[in-house]
Structure 1
């Protein structure tokens, strides 16, 4: 039987990059936020939403790097505190990357969506998903 060695720093960095990329897509972000809450906890899912808000508000030029760094530190601490979370995090990175590859609404932080026709606003939809 072989044991898998997890490089926590690399795992946290890869996850941070995937999480920040996911904030560029409404399609992927909603799904990711639900998965983070399901596999980890509600506070971490709320922190993901707060990061997205800071990224889109873009009060700093280096906001993307700052948020990646925050998430790298959070996720590294998470995996070090409980090594059983490494596998779900690896799976979440893979699924997030696959979903991002299929997403049709990716846009750069701070840039509005392209207007490709009339849009309807659903007032019954949670406000954290409206942009």
Structure 2
């Protein structure tokens, strides 16, 4: 398997989280996964993102949330390099599932 580019995983992860948060079930699924991997603050942050996006602030809110998640995920992977591969895998899986659901 090729070496993963951590900044790319962070960006892709951020985009997937924001996209997943458009639907409550997807947001809960991702919140549960990241909670199990990284701890409760991260699952709660996913649900807070869901709440902010549901408030309906459009593209600007989605872009802001994606930026926040990019930083969070980048920091998380710097502190926990063991999560780089699992995060990359769940991002791939979520991307495929979200495409299939659309």
RMSD: 1.9
Unaligned runs of 5+ in 2: none
Pair 1:89-2:87 in alignment: yes
Equivalent residue number for residue 26 of structure 2 = 28
| 1:51 positional shift | 0.8
Q: Is the contact between residue 16 and residue 91 of structure 2 (CA under 8 Å) also seen in structure 1? A: yes
Q: Which entry has the higher C-alpha Rg, 1 or 2?
A: 1
Deviation >3 Å, runs of 4+: 58-61
* 2-structure distance, mates of 1:61, 1:27: 21
Q: Is the contact between residue 25 and residue 103 of structure 1 (CA under 8 Å) also seen in structure 2? A: no
Q: Is the contact between residue 22 and residue 53 of structure 2 (CA under 8 Å) also seen in structure 1? A: no
Name the SS of the counterpart of 1:62 in structure 2: helix
Relative to structure 1, the CA distance from residue 62 to residue 6 in structure 2 (aligned partners, 3 Å threshold; closer, same or farther) is: same
- Write 1 or 2 for the structure with the bigger share of helix: 2
Unaligned runs of 5+ in 1: 105-131
* 2-structure distance, mates of 1:19, 1:35: 11
